[in-house]
Structure 1
Amino acid sequence: MSRPRPLVPRSDPADSVRVVGEFGVIARVLARSGTAAAAEVGPGDDAAVVRAADGRVVVTTDVLVEGRHFRRDWSSAEDIGHKAAAANLADVAAMGATTTALVVGLACPPDTPTSWLEGVASGLADECAPMGAAVVGGDTVASAPDSAGVVLSVTALGDLGGRAPVRRSGARAGQIVALAGRLGWSAAGLAVLRRGFSSPVAVVAAHRRPSPPYAAGPAAADAGASAMCDVSDGLVADAGHLARDSGVVIDLDPAALAAACLEPVGPLQQVASALGVDPMAWVLSGGEDHALLATFPPKAVLPHGWTVIGAVRAPGREPGVRVGGRPAAEALHDVGAERAGHVHFG
């Protein structure tokens, strides 16, 4: 007589998702998820209820795939939670809003340790806590046996607080272009990690846990920003989206960019010198810092943290991005950047 097949493979860790089960995982994750100030009904029911005092809700979603957006041998579970939240919170801020709640979808192999998922939950919670936001719901499923691993989908809800949403399509010729946050740090950190190193710590940390200037988004809206976007794929790439949606040319000032993004002797220069590259390549094309790019009327008083880095010009032949008056492609070539930014499906 053959013996019954064991329900749990012996290779599974004792606290794996398969051993603990779906509801056990959910209970452990929720214990670390925090509480959203705007949640009238939080996790535990079929759906959450989140108050929207403004009467409108800002909604955005980002998907992170293991091996493409993060690696578990490079980043801790907490790092990945921070990064997943940051990508969404920055998009909400770019509309001039503040995040109120997150909903998270997770697909993972059954042998994933629940302690790792608890770490992700802690990272999500810590990134959201300063805004009074938290995870209010979501779903967990087993990923296919032949899949790449973990897939994390985060949806953020935001509150405009009575403001008009700041879209990408409002830039007008004669206005100024300004930046809040830093550029190139995540790309420099990625370059370091790809070569098997973990220092300078500052740039590696920037890749693992971006530091978007969340408060700068609503502040820019209050100051009269006419257009705004999150720089997630690269400055030239995302400025290009804003330029095309507005029907204008975004002309970036290389000297102003260098002054805003490159310290006299800073981490970017140190890494660039060690690797023999131009740090402006990371500034112009590096993604995942989640800085904010916006246009303002020429006489606007910029809020704290915003720096002028260019001007909005009439489109001429067609909308697009220029650097120092030249086509962006020429400037990218000069600094050794292979492309304007991250290319999805590329």
Structure 2
Amino acid sequence: MPLTVGDLSESELLKRIFPRLPWAATTLVGPGDDAAVVAAPDGRTVLSIDTLVQDKDFRLTRPNGFLTTGYDVGWKSAAQNLSDINAMGGRATAMVVSLTLPPRTPVEWVESLADGLAAACEHLGAEGCGVVGGDLGGGTEVIVTAAVTGTLSGRAPVLRSGAKAGDVVALAGTVGRAAAGLDLLETVEDLETIREDELVLIGIQCRPEPPLGAGPAAAEAGATAMLDVSDGLVRDARRIAEASGVAIDLDPEALRPFAAPLLEAAQLLQADPLSWVLGGGEDHGLLATFGRTVTLPNGFTAIGSVLAGTPRVTYGSQAPASSGWDHFAH
């Protein structure tokens, strides 16, 4: 029988986890005391928190038998939190992680989660960010909560509320791929029958790759507003529009290339790939607005315009069919 969380004490489990986690460069007091102490050279701290709940944000086992690994959940937890710091124009510096675990959870799965956290920080480019502490608790389902601190390195934070009429709307990273991957996981009965391109989409759903570094670059270039696309391009663009008191029009021609990698999956599932592009958010791309005379930083693609008028989002001047994800409506 595999070793489970219920077979170990809290301290024994922590001894298996902490050596696997990255060390934060800003750490003054790390794990072992009641709280961590980290340096804040900028004098300001950017702070974000996100939670992943079993059977709400991930399934341990899909109906088709696909198993979500601890590595996947650890990676995803790190990625979505690092993306929020990126969206403020900051760089992540430290992370605390809270785990709620049923006693039957295999210890190997928890160790894999720690490995996924560490790998995401390294692979995505969150240099110097590490886990400085957290909490362990028991429960009936797996819940992973991570809070991340960040630094602005002397720059002003980029808020959602600064977009102005005449600005260009631009996107860094991808949209729609994670949503397509989720639909494949939920729909295809035998994953061995699908093509390599579709497996890539499933990989992005399990291990998203937000464009870290694009946030600070956008801030340096003078981005007027910015956010992480976590709930869908239309829904998150609307958040900028409402915060800034402007209208946003998305350009269908500019968004068409984002749908190209989704065509095979759309054909298999008889779906509209643009519904994933407009409504899918878990790629954690970065949406920003820039003055029209600004040269867009590397990695950004112009996808629309900011207009004067009642806050709204249109797609080619028409109401979009896809509205995005709402945690309580779904």
CA distance in 1, matches of 2:93, 2:107: 26
Could you say which residue in structure 2 is the equivalent of 1:293?
A: 287
Tell me the equivalent position of 1:8.
none
Task: Name 1:23's counterpart in structure 2.
Answer: 11
Residues 321 and 141 of structure 1, relative CA distance in 2, 3 Å threshold: same
Q: What SS is found at the alignment partner of 1:238?
A: helix
Counterpart position of 2:89? 96
| SS at structure 1 position matched to 2:22 | coil
5 Å matches for 1:170-189?
170-189=162-181
Say which SS state the counterpart of residue 273 (structure 1) adopts.
helix
Find out whether 1:308 has 2:296 as its counterpart. Answer: no
In 2, Cα distance between the equivalents of 1:125 and 1:151? 18
1:197 Cα offset (Å): 4.2
Matches within 5 A, 1:97-112: 97-112=90-105
Query: Following superposition of structure 1 onto structure 2, how do residues 160-199 of structure 1 map, counting pairs within 5 Å?
Result: 160-195=152-187, 196-198=189-191, 199=194
Counterpart Cα distance in 2 of 1:55 and 1:27: 33
Indicate the residue corresponding to 2:29 in structure 1. Answer: 41
Report deviation, 1:15: 2.1
Q: 1:21 & 1:250 partners in 2: Cα distance?
A: 53
Shift of the alpha carbon at 1:139?
0.3
For the residues of structure 2 that align with 1:325 and 1:121, how far apart are their CA atoms?
Answer: 46
> Could you list the runs of 4 or more consecutive aligned residues of structure 1 that deviate by over 3 angstroms after TM superposition?
none
TM-score by length of 1: 0.89
Partners of 2:13 and 2:249 lie apart in 1 by 50
Residues 43, 308 of structure 1: CA spacing in aligned structure 2 closer, same or farther, 3 A cutoff? same
Distance 2:268 2:206 in 1: 21
Which residues in structure 2 correspond to 1:197-208 (within 5 Å)?
197-198=190-191, 199=194, 200-208=198-206
Residue 273 of structure 1 corresponds to which residue in structure 2? Answer: 267
Which of 101, 107, 110 is the matching residue for 1:114? 107
Secondary structure at 2:76's aligned position in 1?
helix
Aligned to 2:121: 128
Aligned-residue offset at 1:262 = 2.8
Bigger CA radius of gyration: 1
* 1:14-42 Cα distance to aligned partner (Å, 9 max, x none): 52112111111111110101211111111
Partner of 1:79: 72
| Secondary structure, aligned partner of 2:20 | coil
Give me the whole-angstrom Cα distance separating, in 2, the residues matched to 1:50 and 1:127.
21
1:262 aligns with 2:262: no
Aligned match of 1:3:
none
Structure 1 residue runs without a partner (length 5+): 1-12
5+ unaligned residues in a row in structure 2: which ranges?
A: 62-66
Rounded to whole Å, the distance in 1 between the matches of 2:135 and 2:3 is: 19
Shift of 1:285: 0.3
Q: 2: CA distance between counterparts of 1:233 and 1:156?
A: 19
